[in-house]
């Protein structure tokens, strides 16, 4: 089973999809899916929040259609090899057992793939998006054409922006925290050039009918595989983090009062958690007012570190960088803990009458008693 297309087209398939792949926590999405039919070679990638599907009309399919996922680690080298070929040279993609072979006039490379790896129903997801209607008007809604080079200018404003599109050839509204923006779509007829893009959804449906017609419309969040993460999901926005810190402060304060007459150790733990959460909230609040963009970046980076799970190693490195001796801190902690355990053992022995006993009589006394 093989399919052939030119090197330039193959390189563009990877370029248009690779930046949408998910991380290693979602193995099924950690790569670019290649699928064939009688007409097209498709490349599909998703990180659960975006979905990219690119296709090119291939030069010919030899055998039955096939589908395999190219692992993320192989994408960079494949892209370089495609770039090294003259753009018009043919690249043949051949499916062999557990491998995809990419053959070009200047050489061949093989990539290991998982023959049993499943992929989500991307056709149904795309059909679901296409079939959505405007909730206010009951129609398909506006369908403007935006210049992606201009869209990229909004990335430095905020991590999150709300986008409102009101009409086909009118400006879109972008709303951020203490921020409003607008971007005009292309007005192709007025500007005297043609983007080559379809003008409405009916044309889109017609162009992709061969690929999507047999799929049932599906919701994107429910149809893609979820990440294999721990039960703890670190907050990733400033607002979410601040809310969590306030909840932790109040929860720890409440638990401290509940435990105050029963467990000194629990009281200390709750007090420490509450104080730390309140300090973190105040520091985050100040940083957010002083530099919202930096605050958002720090929260996102911290979330990644928490998800990684190696915060002990991060803290050790940070302490060393700051000129402290974390090993000495550990020794001090161990010494203090050993002392506390010794004192606790003595108190317990005294309370149960199992303390030190009076010394036994000397030998002569024993002899006399005998």
> Residue 174 belongs to what H/E stretch?
strand 172-176
8 Å CB contact between 260 and 155:
no
**Considering the domain boundaries, does residue 230 fall inside one?**
no
Measure CA 234 to chain center. 11
53 domain residue, yes or no: yes
Shared-domain flag, residues 187 and 248: no
Q: Report the pLDDT value the prediction gives residue 364, as an integer from 0 to 100.
A: 41
The domain that holds 19 is classified in CATH as: 3.10.150.10
Within-domain flag for 316: yes
Give me the pLDDT at residue 358, please: 46
**Domain assignment present for 359:** no
Task: Quote the crossing angle between the two packed helices 264-290 and 292-308, to the nearest 10°.
Answer: 140
Same domain, 89 and 184: no
Domain that holds residue 245: 238-331
Distance, in Å, from the CA atom of 233 to the CA atom of 280, rounded to the nearest integer, reads 18
Q: Among the three residues 122, 150, 183, which one is the final residue of a domain in this structure?
A: 122
Gyration radius from the chain CA atoms:
32
> Has residue 313 been placed in a domain?
yes
Residue 312 CA: distances (Å) to CA of 58, 274, 307, 316: 52, 20, 13, 6
Asked if 113 and 23 sit in the same domain, the reply is yes
Question: 101 and 155, same structural domain?
Answer: no
- Between CA 357 and CA 335 the distance in angstroms is 28
Residue 220: inside a domain, yes or no? no
- Taking the C-alpha atoms of residue 326 and residue 76, their distance in angstroms, rounded to an integer, is 39
* Confidence (pLDDT) at 352: 65
Do residues 118 and 6 both lie within one domain? yes
pLDDT at 228: 66
> Is residue 6 domain-shared with residue 96, that is, in the same domain?
yes
181 and 109 share a domain? no
pLDDT score recorded for residue 163: 87
Mean pLDDT by 10 residues, the chain (370 residues): 90 91 91 93 91 90 92 92 86 90 88 91 90 74 81 80 82 81 74 64 85 86 74 78 90 76 76 90 88 85 84 88 90 84 71 54 38
Residue 158: the pLDDT is: 72
Q: Considering the domain boundaries, does residue 352 fall inside one? A: no
The predicted structure's pLDDT at residue 214 = 83
pLDDT at position 231: 52
The structural domain count of the chain equals 3
Residues 15 and 66 in one domain: yes
Let me know whether 118 and 145 are in one domain: no
> 98: alpha, beta or left, given left = phi > 0 and alpha = psi -120 to 50?
left
Same domain as 84, residue 11: yes
Helix %, strand %, coil % for the chain, to 5?
A: 50, 20, 35
The answer to the question of residue 173 being in a domain is: yes
Burial 64-97 (b: 16+ CB within 10 A, else e): eebebbbbbebbeebbebbeebeeeebbbbbbee
Contacts for 190 with CB less than 8 Å, ≥ 6 apart = none
Per-residue model confidence (pLDDT) at position 111: 92
- Pick from 2, 10, 86: nearest CA to 55: 10
Same structural domain, 6 and 42: yes
Residues 18 and 62 in one domain: yes
User: What is the CA 28 to chain-centroid distance, rounded?
Assistant: 14
pLDDT reported for residue 351: 66
């Amino acid at each position: 089973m093989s399919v052939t297309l030119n090197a330039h087209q193959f390189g563009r398939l990877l370029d248009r999809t690779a930046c949408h792949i998910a991380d290693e926590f979602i193995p099924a999405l950690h790569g670019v899916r290649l699928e064939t039919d009688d007409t097209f070679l498709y490349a599909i990638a998703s990180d659960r929040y975006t979905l990219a599907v690119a296709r090119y009309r291939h030069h010919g399919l030899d055998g039955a259609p096939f589908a395999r996922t190219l692992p993320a680690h192989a994408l960079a080298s494949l892209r370089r090899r495609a770039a090294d070929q003259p753009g018009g040279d043919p690249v043949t993609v051949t499916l062999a057992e557990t491998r995809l072979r990419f053959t070009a006039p200047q050489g061949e490379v093989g990539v290991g793939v998982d023959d049993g790896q499943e992929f989500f129903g991307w056709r149904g997801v795309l059909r679901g998006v296409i079939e959505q209607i405007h909730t206010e008007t009951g129609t398909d809604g506006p369908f403007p054409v935006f210049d992606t080079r201009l869209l990229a200018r909004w990335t430095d404003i905020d991590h999150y922006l709300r986008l409102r599109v009101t009409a086909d050839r009118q400006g879109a509204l972008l709303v951020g925290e203490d921020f409003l923006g607008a971007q005009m779509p292309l007005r192709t007829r007025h500007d005297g050039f043609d983007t080559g893009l379809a003008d409405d959804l009916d044309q889109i449906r017609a162009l992709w009918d061969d690929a999507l017609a047999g799929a049932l419309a599906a919701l994107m969040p429910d149809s893609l595989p979820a990440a294999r993460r721990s039960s703890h999901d670190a907050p990733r926005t400033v607002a979410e983090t601040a809310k969590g810190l306030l909840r932790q402060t109040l929860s720890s304060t409440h638990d401290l009062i509940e435990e105050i007459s029963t467990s000194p150790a629990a009281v200390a733990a709750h007090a420490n958690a509450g104080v730390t959460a309140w300090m973190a909230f105040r520091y985050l609040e100040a940083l957010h007012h002083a530099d919202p963009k930096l605050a958002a970046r720090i929260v996102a980076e911290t979330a990644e570190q928490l998800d990684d799970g190696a915060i002990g190693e991060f803290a050790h490195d940070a302490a060393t960088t700051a000129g402290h001796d974390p090993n000495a801190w550990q020794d001090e902690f161990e010494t203090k803990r050993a002392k506390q355990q010794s004192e606790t053992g003595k108190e317990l022995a005294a309370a149960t009458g199992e303390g030190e006993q009076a010394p036994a009589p000397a030998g002569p006394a024993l002899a006399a008693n005998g």
